[in-house]
């Protein structure tokens, strides 16, 4: 088969398996109200792109995967960029959120507690408050440390489940495209793939329908950063690290604020969009004026 057929087959498999599995889970009574069950379902969902890649590349076409899809553990400086960038953007998002008129600084995390109280009994809410207040360090710093550790361990493994598909297989399939075009297309597909999770309350529990469009836009904004680091590091493992660290530290962006809603604050909200636009602008300046290896303005095939 030609590459375009591999791409089509990968997308059919990924979306069919994902949406059918999500439908079965929802019809069986699952959803965001069951935090543990939904987390387990989400972890399984993340590995569907890798399963589809294995079916297409290994079972059907019997092609190499490791070298062809940039599975490399050869560490370079871009691995560290992948590890540290998302926590920086989480703090930047927090700062941008404070510029919104209905958002205030909440060092005692009362805003965060109020978000969770609607999903807990009074006893559970009080227990959560007591647990947080008894911590030896502020929860923000504990989350940062745990997120950085998880970002290169368990979260990176889960992130790899997605990244082998989106920044491994799809990057190679679209390598003849310009960097910008590939980023928009991969980001759009990646965002739409999240739709069942969003409709069940993930990331935008207050606005699940509008959240599908927000998530798609967020993925389009995230993709240039993920792609750039993947190409620079020459490894999809770096993409898994940035994905894992994002999942481990994005909560920092809303811990110390009160006000706003899931469409305006937090990394998947408007504040996070602004932070990503700033990051993309910095990336463009770096690539255009500092980096010797220009990626954004050339065909990706020259670099992978």
pLDDT of residue 2: 45
Is residue 143 assigned to a domain? yes
The predicted-structure confidence for 59-74, as pLDDT tens digits, reads as follows 998 888 888 899 999 9
- In 164-207, which ranges are continuous DSSP H helix? 170-173, 179-193, 195-199
| Cα 94 → chain centroid | 17
Q: Report the alpha-carbon distance of residue 93 to residue 272 in Å, rounded.
A: 5
> Which pLDDT tens digit goes with each residue over 16-55?
999 999 999 999 998 877 888 999 999 999 999 999 999 9
Q: Does the residue 267 lie in any domain?
A: yes
Q: pTM here?
A: 0.93
Average pLDDT over residues 76-84: 98
Residue 201 confidence (pLDDT) above 50: yes
Residue 11 has pLDDT above 60, yes or no: yes
DSSP label of 302: G
Residue 133 confidence class, pLDDT cut points 50, 70, 90: confident
- Whether 9 is covered by a domain: the verdict is no
- The per-residue pLDDT for 1 is 41
Quickly state the pLDDT bin for 212 (edges 50, 70, 90). very high
pLDDT score of 4 more than 70: no
For residue 209, with 0-12 CB atoms within 10 Å meaning exposed, 13-18 middle and 19 or more buried, which class applies?
A: exposed
DSSP tally for the chain: helices H, then strands E:
15, 2
100-126 residue pLDDT tens = 999 999 998 888 877 776 666 677 667
Position 228 in a domain:
yes
Range of the domain at 199: 72-302
Q: Is residue 230 part of a domain?
A: yes
- Asked if residue 43 is part of any domain, the answer here is no
Is 53 inside a domain boundary? Answer: no
**Structural domain count, the chain:** 1
């Amino acid at each position: 088969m030609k590459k375009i057929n591999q791409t089509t087959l990968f997308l059919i498999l990924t979306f069919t398996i994902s949406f059918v599995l999500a439908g079965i889970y929802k019809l069986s009574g699952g959803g965001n109200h069951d935090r543990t069950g939904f987390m387990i379902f989400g972890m399984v969902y993340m590995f569907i792109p890798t399963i589809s890649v294995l079916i297409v590349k290994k079972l059907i076409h019997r092609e190499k995967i490791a070298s062809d899809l940039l599975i490399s553990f050869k560490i370079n400086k871009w691995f560290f960029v992948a590890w540290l960038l998302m926590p920086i953007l989480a703090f930047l998002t927090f700062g941008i959120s404070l510029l919104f008129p209905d958002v205030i600084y909440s060092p005692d995390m009362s805003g965060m507690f109020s978000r969770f109280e609607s999903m807990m009994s009074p006893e559970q809410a009080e227990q959560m408050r007591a647990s947080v207040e008894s911590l030896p360090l502020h929860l923000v710093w504990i989350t940062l440390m745990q997120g950085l550790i998880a970002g290169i361990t368990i979260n990176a493994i889960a992130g790899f489940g997605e990244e082998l598909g989106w920044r491994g297989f799809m990057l190679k399939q679209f390598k003849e495209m310009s960097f910008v075009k590939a980023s928009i297309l991969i980001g759009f597909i990646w965002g739409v793939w999240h739709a069942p999770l969003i409709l069940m309350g993930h990331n935008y529990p207050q606005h699940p329908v509008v959240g599908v469009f927000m998530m798609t836009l967020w993925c389009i904004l995230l993709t240039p950063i993920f792609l750039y680091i993947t190409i620079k590091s020459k490894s999809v493992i770096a993409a898994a690290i940035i994905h894992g660290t994002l999942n481990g530290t994005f909560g920092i962006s809303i811990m110390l604020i009160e006000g706003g809603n899931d469409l305006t604050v937090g990394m998947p909200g408007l504040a996070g969009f602004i932070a990503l636009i700033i990051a993309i602008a910095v990336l463009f300046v770096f690539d255009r004026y500092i980096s010797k290896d220009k990626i954004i303005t050339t065909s990706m095939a020259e670099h992978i």
